[in-house]
A = this chain, B = another copy of it.
Amino acid sequence: MPFIRISMIRGKSESYVQAIADGLHRALVAEYDVPEHDRFQIVHQHAPEELIFDPSYLAGPRTQDFILVAITAGRPRTPEMRRAFFHRAAEELQRHPGLAPKNLMIVINTTQSNEWSFGDGIAQMASADWLAATGMASDE
């Protein structure tokens, strides 16, 4: 139930961008209790002057490889899960495509399950009928 926006400077190959998206999703599945098929990602590629970041605030030195990931999550997780996810995401992207952990910034924003419609005009996770029909457990 998260969806994520990945903001980066234009100019990387399509396979590099794909590797970033893949690695972030693997980290969410491994550490943030996200189902494998619950994947929705938007990539925003910018001119250098459109992505403004301090080179060294709280981490760094950041370079032009800097990526800012904004995650809209569907329900709260524990601080421990967040810590594990941040760690895993940095690890996955360092392994492939080779992003330095200092260049990965992540911000999570939490909503409620009943604020999501995945399609068909219904709020799947807040619909007793839908949950009963599909045999899924409510996420709330």
A interface list, Cβ under 8 A from B: 3, 7, 14, 17-18, 21, 35, 37-46, 49-54, 56-60, 62, 68, 70, 72, 79, 82-83, 86-91, 101-111, 114-124, 126-127
Copies of this chain per assembly:
3
- Whether the pair A115, B119 counts as a contact (CB closer than 8 A) is no
A111 touches B109 (CB 8 A): yes
Interface of A: prevailing SS: mixed
**Which of chain B's residues have a CB closer than 8 A to the CB of A86?**
117, 121-123
Q: Are A43 and B39 in contact (CB under 8 A)?
A: no
Which B residues are in CB contact (< 8 Å) with A60? 119
Contact A118 B91 (CB under 8 A): no
